[in-house]
Amino acid sequence: MSLTGKKFPNITVDAIDYLGDYLSINIFEEATQKGKKVLLFWYPKDFTFVCPTELHAFQEALPEFEKRNTVVIGASCDTNEVHFAWLNTTKDNGGIEGVTYPILADTNRNLSRVLGILEGEEKESEEFGYLFEGSNVTFRATYLIDEDGKVFHESVNDMPVGRNVKEYLRLIDAYAHVQKFGEVCPANWEEGKDAMHATRDGVASYLASQVSLS
């Protein structure tokens, strides 16, 4: 079920920061009470392969997200203790030392189950009732949430496919433009390019300007 255009689930989840402090984070409240946008990205497991490249990529872009009044939060179903061990493992050993944003520890899978991003499903067994078949870890799901707690973007990658962090910066820029000016952003829009009015005349004028540039 898609959450785009809807409020993000009001669920509190355990988390940890790079100092080892145990936290409780509610993504909906993080947005609405602090008046910030939130980028929440899920990854399958700590101490794996594509995952550390993504966590470092989000860390490198953190100043750009902060410029856009956006909080970055990572998430998986690993425990706080495993997160902290990974946070204290150096890059040359496959670790995420240097990552400073908080990481959710959705060990009970309450939030990831509601979001529908777990790999696998429950299947009935004659002997044991319902058993989970699959890895029961999350796909690479990403959510952008606005200051009112509404999801304005969601995407889910299969586990082998890493994300393009720059695309999320572009999406935040586009949504901020819509919020500020009331215009809509056409295909391939980037900061500084023309947007358009959501009318027949608006799209006609925009398309005509693109023809003149080609």
Residues taking part in catalysis: 51
Residue with tokens 């493992």: 89
Question: How many angstroms separate the CA atoms of 41 and 153, rounded?
Answer: 12
Specify whether the CB–CB gap between 111 and 124 falls below 8 A: no
Report the b/e string of 116-132 with b at 16+ CB within 10 A. Answer: ebbeeeeeeeeeeeeee
Residue 121 parent element (H or E)? strand 121-125
C-alpha separations of 96 from 18, 81, 82, 85, 88 in Å: 10, 14, 12, 9, 7
Question: How many angstroms separate the CA atoms of 61 and 153, rounded?
Answer: 18
Crossing angle of helices 50-60 and 165-181, in 10° steps, is: 40
